[in-house]
Amino acid sequence: MKEYQSLGWYAARLSPKLPKEVFSPVPSRLLGGLAYLFVITASIVTISLFDLHPILNVMLSVIIGASFAAMGFLGHEILHGVVVRNPWLRDFLGAIAFWPLCTGPSLWRKWHNITHHVHTQDEEKDPDAWPTFERLAKVPFLRWVYQLPLSFRSFFSFSCLTLQFSLHSLKMFVTYIKEFNPRKRPKVWFQLILPWASWIGLLTMIGFANWFFAFLLPLLIANFIVMAYISTNHRLNPLVPVNDPLANSLTVTVPKWVDVLHFNFSYHTEHHLFPGMNPKYYPLVKQQIKEMWPERYHEMPLGSALKALYKTPRAYYQHEELIDPRQGNLYGTLGKGLDPQNITSQQVEVKREKTTISVNK
């Protein structure tokens, strides 16, 4: 077998082994979203109307934040067209699901569906891929950041997970707004502004103290939950010349009840193989992959993946290794020498000049 295979190569061999119904939309998934909407609304009203003890407010914030995150997972599912197929209804429901995270459906489909899925872990084209050693060496600020100790960078990076989805979403808006047809840009702007306007409107109605517990703290919690998954989806995998989902994606494992609450979002390799399939059926896909290509499939507990992420740097060297320029350490990636249970590195010589950084192995 070649080192890398295309998405279509895998799909052609897996599809005949799967029941035909797995490729049909599953509208019943919306019931979960309805339940989360009820929980969010009831919790916000409770915070707004009653003078609760701060501890109770924090508990409600955690519930709201977890519900915000779950709504985002459902929105991701909806906007892939695997819940309903009608384009107008799909975008309407997706907008509601992504409302807490303030990400519009048009932007999400452009950024995630059309670009990230087509160019996963492509150094130049994937908007979610982390930079290479060569690229960061050309940016003075990043050169400075990567001279900080790895432990400090890791702590700061994990702290920023509470903001990262929201900030990256705004960055994607700036990146892609000019690529939309001029006649469609007002709609994309509207989808960005309206959610934020509604949450700021809530601020004026209930005051900052209540708004902090009803929206701001839940948003930070939701960011962290969402990014705990997203940060492990690909960041331990190599950059690849071919969009090979078994090479460039990682499935994490969580307790079954968490998969129920999070709409099977943990099955990420399966999702990249069949983005048009409802996640309800991903356990069937996983079973077939592990029977056909067990040596190529990557999975680990979410906690272990986060731990490996914390212990390794976020800059690629020659696509298949991760480098810490400060210490001159090279780490493998999944399938390329990284053992999450025993993370080790290779010492290399890093030469720094005013405009470049080079490595001697």
How much is the pTM? 0.94
pLDDT at 107 over 90: yes
Strands 321-324 and 346-347: what pairing? unpaired
Rounded alpha-carbon distances, angstroms, from residue 81 to 67, 89, 111, 130, 314: 21, 10, 15, 28, 32
What pLDDT does 164 receive? 96
Token representation of residue 226? 């969402």
Predicted confidence (pLDDT) per residue in 132-146, tens digit: 888 888 888 888 888
Report in angstroms the alpha-carbon separations of 344 from 63, 89, 234, 302, 333: 38, 49, 19, 20, 11
- The Cα 235–Cα 248 span in angstroms is 9
| 136-180 pLDDT, tens digit each | 888 888 888 888 999 999 999 999 999 999 999 999 999 999 999
Lowest mean pLDDT among 5-9, 108-112, 129-133, 164-168: 129-133
Over the stretch 282-328, which tens digit does the pLDDT of each residue have?
999 999 999 999 999 999 999 999 999 999 998 999 899 999 988 88
What does DSSP assign to residue 4? -
Chain mean pLDDT for the chain: 93
334 has a pLDDT exceeding 80: yes
Q: What are phi and psi of 198, to 5 degrees?
A: -65, -40
pLDDT digits over 234-277, tens only?
Answer: 999 999 999 999 999 999 999 999 999 999 999 999 999 999 99
**Which residue did the predictor score with more confidence, 209 or 344?**
209
